[in-house]
Structure 1
Amino acid sequence: MSEVTDLVEMLEKTGIPMSNELIEALLRTEPSDFTDFPLESFWHDFPVPFLVTDSGVTKTISAPHMIVTMLHHLELDEGLHVLLMGSKGGYLATLIDIICGHGGKVTIIEPHDEIAEHTSNVLERRKQCGLIRVLGKEALEDPAWDRDVDRVLFTGSIREIPDFVELLIEEGGFILGPFGGRIQQRLMKKEWQGGAWLETDLGGVVFGPMDIRESERGFPDPLFIADEFEDALILISSVLGENSEEVYRLERLVESLRELPPGLPEITSSFTEEEIIEHPVIELLMTEAEWLNELWPTFVDILGFDLEGIVPDLEEPLFGKRHADFTP
């Protein structure tokens, strides 16, 4: 455990607030119990992978300074019930379990079966102080849930508090998490007091997206695409200027996407080329193809999604030529 001790000493020197209970939890928890990947990056205060999924997605345990920061702001105490949105391999839940003690409870909501199974297997090998359980997102729809949650921690970025979480928070309980899009987020504490959310801004952070809601969306969801384009606007406006024609057109496109009627069908493999092209979302994007053409590769780089494999081959490519201002 010498590496853990050195890590704690390093974090103390940075001035990050750490209670005695948090320090004890760190010293009692060996990170190697939660990952088979080398821990060199973790000892140097960087994230470390704990799993590469079958689809090739790397899932990580957050950097130590961010873990300590989040646990400090959670204001943990014995006997609390903490809802953890996203497993982080079980490491974060174990630290919370030690701090909250024998009367405490940690409920992990992990939307991906593969990650949930991995986390459950890891936690089964460890002795727990209180209760740690790993559930899928369908558990949030269980009517048996009571408003007995004291803290909620989101381990990925979200844009707003999901309705199902609002129903779980006790008076005086609060939510902690990175609120914003893919590019810009703020670590926010939102406390439920007297029927309203009281917000405290704890500073800028960078997290990957919390995909509980996104995992339920089919393509092409116009609201999802609008959200992604709004994120891209932050970068594009800083490069091209807030008054540029591209920024203006993208802002109008976002408005048009949000105005599309709800309940549009998901494009599936059974769709013909004609049906795909006539889909309202694709049709809207295609009408903007002339100017979107140069920006689309930037969207792919920033946002990580494309229409390849969805939109059929056309005589002229729909999107693809990189804008000169974004060419290295």
Structure 2
Amino acid sequence: MTREIPTNASLLSRLEREGVLRTGAVREAMLSTPRELFVWDGYRDEAYVDWPLPLGRTGQTISAPHMVVMMLEELDLRAEMKVLEIGCGSGWNAACIASIVGARGSVVSVELIEELVEFATRNIRRAGLEKIVEIHHGDGSKGWPPFEAEEIYDRVVLTAATSRIPDFPVRQLRREGVLLLPLGDSPAQILTRVVKDRAGYLSTRPVCPCVFVPLVRSEEA
């Protein structure tokens, strides 16, 4: 018996039925940035299976589609927003964000592992999104530019787990902005939504349990 290989459309239909995929903007982002363009060589047939896939021997993964959809929905992205992503991995999440914020928005993605910087950069160019997405080699826990305290970004998203909310990315978040991160120690964390109010105070809301690889900081690399 031949195993049926799931497609992007069938995966998204299932996520809609399950209530994970809720908005047209996120659906369109997932359709316009197919995961198969961002997986490591040898994993194309598994691109639409709903689980994480390894990125070579880097120790990192491309996230499961349901988790990417959930994070995009929680970020509540809109056109023209400026977004900081900490941990670009394969570039897929940055590409999905870029397709929502559009040509007048921007995505700044910071990655510490040089092999992934090169891989994600190639993928973003192949997707035709290099005018919206900037990928930088560095420690994203220090923000971008590093140690800058100015409020720059409408949204900040971490794609790796940390036991505490990093200081400089919060400082770089604009008032009424949203920061989303997997919060907690391994092996499991809580996806957490942080909102900075008009006065600069933070409020947090747990979204769901999750499992992410740990955030690699420069002093650990």
TM-score by length of 2: 0.87
User: Comparing both structures, which one devotes a greater share of its residues to strand?
Assistant: 2
Write the letter of the residue equivalent to 1:97. A
Q: 1:187 aligns with which of 163, 185, 191?
A: 191
Q: CA deviation at 1:145?
A: 7.3
Question: Is 1:10 the counterpart of 2:14 in the alignment?
Answer: yes
Distance 1:141 1:77, change over 3 A: closer
Per the alignment, residue 178 of structure 1 pairs with 182
Question: Where does 1:145-160 land on structure 2 (aligned, <5 Å)?
Answer: 146-160=150-164
| Cα distance in 1 for residues equivalent to 2:89 and 2:114 | 14
Q: Which runs of 5+ in 1 are unaligned?
A: 219-328
Match of 1:121 in 2: 122
Percent identity over the alignment is: 29
164, 189, 213: which one aligns with 1:208: 213
CA gap 1:164/1:44 in 2 versus in 1, 3 angstroms: same
Counterpart residue number, 1:108: 109
- The one-letter code sitting in structure 2 at the alignment partner of 1:22 is V
Structure 1 residues 92, 141: CA separation in 2 closer, same or farther (over 3 Å shift)? closer
Question: Are the aligned partners of 1:103 and 1:130 in contact in 2 as well (CA < 8 Å)?
Answer: no
**3-state DSSP class of the match of 1:84?**
strand
**Deviations 1:274-325 (CA, angstroms, capped at 9, x unpaired):** xxxxxxxxxxxxxxxxxxxxxxxxxxxxxxxxxxxxxxxxxxxxxxxxxxxx
Q: Which amino acid aligns with 1:75?
A: D
Comparing both chains, which one has the higher relative contact order based on Cα–Cα distances under 8 Å and sequence gaps of 6 or more? 2
More helix by share: 1
**CA, structure 1 residues 66+124, in 2 after alignment: closer, same or farther (shift >3 Å)?**
same
Q: 1:1-328 maps to which residues of 2 (within 5 A)? A: 3-35=7-39, 36-49=41-54, 51-52=55-56, 56-128=57-129, 131-137=132-138, 140=144, 142=146, 146-193=150-197, 194-211=199-216, 213=217, 215-217=218-220
Does the 8 Å contact 1:97/1:129 carry over to 2? no
Return the alpha-carbon distance in structure 2 between the equivalents of residues 16 and 3 of structure 1. 17
Let me know the Cα RMSD of the aligned residues. Answer: 2.1
How many positions carry a matched residue from both structures? 211
Select the structure of larger CA radius of gyration: 1
3-state DSSP class of the match of 1:152? strand
Amino acid at match of 1:140: W
- TM-score, normalisation: structure 1: 0.60
Q: Separation in 2 of the partners of 1:112 and 1:175?
A: 22
Structure 2 unaligned residues grouped into runs of 5+: 1-5
